[in-house]
Amino acid sequence: MYLELQAEGYTEVNIMGINGFQYLDNDYHCMVCDDPQACSNCDEIRVLPWVQDLDDDDGDGIWDDEDNDGEPDEPYGDVWESWDINLRDLVFLDRDGNYITRLNLTSFNPDPTALGECTGNYDTIKNLIISLY
């Protein structure tokens, strides 16, 4: 969708992923598909940026462990916590960074070939992005 929007002239649209802090140690290679040969559910390297949320209240770029127990002081990262994020939430911001809305992709399959009640989800998302442009 990102590449489609770019090709259609919506060159200032940005889409990025923010990995949950609680998934810090999970393998991310299939998510970003940096090695398509190693992953069965992706065919080509993905172009969207993928960043990692942290619990980093002191802002030093390292997750907080003030009590030195080797465990994070808070279970959720700062972005996921402050935005009350659930896994697979897709959050829409306008070009000024204002929150517009969100939907959850677990129950809203964005696959353009999706059938049944998911038919059209891809276009719904794309049209929402274009309406915010």
Binding-site string for Ca ion from residue 19 to residue 58, where x marks contact by CB under 5 A and - marks none:
------------------------------------xxxx
Question: Virtual CA dihedral for 50, 40, 36, 5, nearest 10 degrees?
Answer: -50
d(CA 114, CA 122): 9
Does 75 sit near Ca ion (CB under 5 A)? no
- Strands, DSSP E only, in the chain? 17-19, 50-52, 89-93, 99-104
Q: Which of 12, 27, 44, 71 binds Ca ion (CB under 5 A)?
A: 71
What's the min distance (Å) between Cβ of 56 and Ca ion?
Answer: 4
Nearer to Ca ion, 10 or 23 (CB): 23
What's the min distance (Å) between Cβ of 45 and Ca ion?
Answer: 31
d(CA 48, CA 82): 23
Exposed e or buried b per residue across 116-125, where buried means at least 16 C-beta atoms within 10 angstroms of its C-beta:
eebeebbeeb
Nearer to Ca ion, 12 or 69 (CB): 69
d(CA 97, CA 100): 9
Nearer to Ca ion, 22 or 109 (CB): 22
Residues that bind Ca ion (CB under 5 A): 55-58, 60, 62, 64-65, 67, 69, 71, 73-74, 78
